[in-house]
Structure 1
Amino acid sequence: MRKNMPLIDTHVHIDYYSSPHQIAKSYEQNKIYTFFVTNLPEVFEKLHYDFQSYKYVRICLGYHPQVCSEFPLDKQLFRKCALHTKYIGEVGLDFKNEHVDIINKQIDAFEFITTPEFNTNKIYSIHSKHTEDIILEILKKNKVKHAILHWYTGKLSTLDKLVNEGYYFSLNPKMTTSQNALKRIERIPPQRILFETDGPFIKYNNELILPNHIQKAYNDFELIIPNFQEIVFQNFRRLLLERDLKNESRM
């Protein structure tokens, strides 16, 4: 592993921490390149000004499928917010225990969010629980180029198809404790692997996961994937370059 290789965290719910600004400052001070995902455009609109001066932190414009039944997507606001970011997440589909009307609303929202109006030069962080086939279908239909499958738990056959489309997969420490998750980790080519904490929704050694745990988590992954830290950094760098970013030192 190269000395001083930067750390990456591609999926953090910063607004769910009790002290979000303190956590954000820790990411910035530790020079961890980080995507703060949001669940609603309204949350993005509220937060993105708070962190716009940060070098290592980016706020993602999101609409989580699990909020669909309570908060209809404000398409006008989403369109407005999309002008201020190159990152979209958390978005996707999740049909568990949902009525057909909500399922249809989720599909309508995800199709809207992934249209060419928004997907040019943007990176998506995608929730695909038990919906990986329709996720793939919509991504292909809308010709989405740059996507990260967050905490992928779907079929291995669909994983292979997502890999063939050039998409990435973000792995978190919780996945190392599950045999099913380990099967998926083994299936993902090294050049498609990224890292996430999904903080604060997972724990690390029975503690709320924080930025100061991330290096330790990387070290744990080294036991499964040699040179994990370098692999993640090089993949992250490539993803930014694939998105036609001219200077990889900027996010």
Structure 2
Amino acid sequence: MSAIVDMHCHLDLYPDPVRAVKTIAASKEYVLSVTTTPKAWRGTAKLAAGCPRIKTALGLHPQLAKERRGELALFDRLLPEARYVGEIGLDGRPACVSSWNDQVHVFEHILSSCADHGGRILSLHSRAAASEVLNNLGQRSAE
């Protein structure tokens, strides 16, 4: 029997996340539950407590970078507890262009923080920005 793996799930955004966790546990699926803000990480991780097949990632979604860049200090405080990081990245769609500089700042900060802590498993957002995301990753690996 093969296992089902969902490597990008916003568990905390489900209408009934507790029920979703029970369904995942019963089905023996593996899930990477990504968060959109550092403030959401602890609560989302708590939802999955006792379900070892659900891993919770510490994230700051690029669409929220402008409004939530003030949470980078919290991100840095939580990072030692998090093996997984996501959802992070860049969104180059026209609707997100006004926050581009904030997105780049947040993404570069998170990549540097992860490198400083020995690396992490990342879940990346790269909508209309794949080249820029890969360039940032390449710069970090060259450092």
TM-score, L = length of structure 2? 0.88
Give 1:91's aligned residue.
Answer: 88
TM-aligned CA deviation for residue 119 of structure 1: 5.7
Please give the secondary structure, in 2, of the residue aligned with 1:63: coil
Give 1:71's aligned residue.
Answer: 68
Give 1:188's aligned residue.
Answer: none
Give 1:23's aligned residue.
Answer: 20
Alpha-carbon distance between aligned partners in 2 of 1:108 and 1:69, rounded to the nearest angstrom: 10
Alpha-carbon distance between aligned partners in 2 of 1:94 and 1:112, rounded to the nearest angstrom: 16
Please give the secondary structure, in 2, of the residue aligned with 1:71: helix
Letter in 2 for 1:27: I
Alpha-carbon distance between aligned partners in 2 of 1:63 and 1:84, rounded to the nearest angstrom: 16
Alpha-carbon distance between aligned partners in 1 of 2:77 and 2:69, rounded to the nearest angstrom: 16
Alpha-carbon distance between aligned partners in 2 of 1:88 and 1:29, rounded to the nearest angstrom: 25
1:125 aligns with 2:123: yes
Give 1:105's aligned residue.
Answer: 102
TM-aligned CA deviation for residue 105 of structure 1: 1.1
Give 1:59's aligned residue.
Answer: 56
Within 5 Å, which residues of 2 pair with 1:185-196? none
Computing the radius of gyration over CA atoms, which structure comes out larger, 1 or 2?
Answer: 1
Alpha-carbon distance between aligned partners in 2 of 1:52 and 1:86, rounded to the nearest angstrom: 15
Residue deviations 1:1-59 (CA, integer Å, cap 9, x gap):
xxx12211101111111100110111112111110111000001222123232111011
* Overall identity of the aligned pairs, in %: 27
Q: Point out where structure 2 has 5 or more consecutive residues left out of the alignment.
A: none
Please give the secondary structure, in 1, of the residue aligned with 2:127: coil
Within 5 Å, which residues of 2 pair with 1:3-42? 4-42=1-39
Q: Point out where structure 1 has 5 or more consecutive residues left out of the alignment.
A: 145-251
1:135 aligns with 2:124: no
Q: Give the 3 Å change call, closer, same or farther, for CA 119–63 of structure 1 in structure 2.
A: farther
Residue deviations 1:135-187 (CA, integer Å, cap 9, x gap):
0111011129xxxxxxxxxxxxxxxxxxxxxxxxxxxxxxxxxxxxxxxxxxx
TM-score, L = length of structure 1? 0.52
Alpha-carbon distance between aligned partners in 2 of 1:69 and 1:109, rounded to the nearest angstrom: 9
Larger displacement relative to structure 2 (106-115 or 43-52): 43-52
Contact 1:41 1:61 in 2 (8 A): yes
Q: Give the 3 Å change call, closer, same or farther, for CA 14–65 of structure 1 in structure 2.
A: same
Contact 1:41 1:77 in 2 (8 A): yes
Contact 1:73 1:109 in 2 (8 A): no
Contact 2:21 2:47 in 1 (8 A): no
Contact 2:34 2:57 in 1 (8 A): yes
Letter in 2 for 1:17: Y
Q: Output the aligned Cα RMSD.
A: 1.7
Give 1:49's aligned residue.
Answer: 46
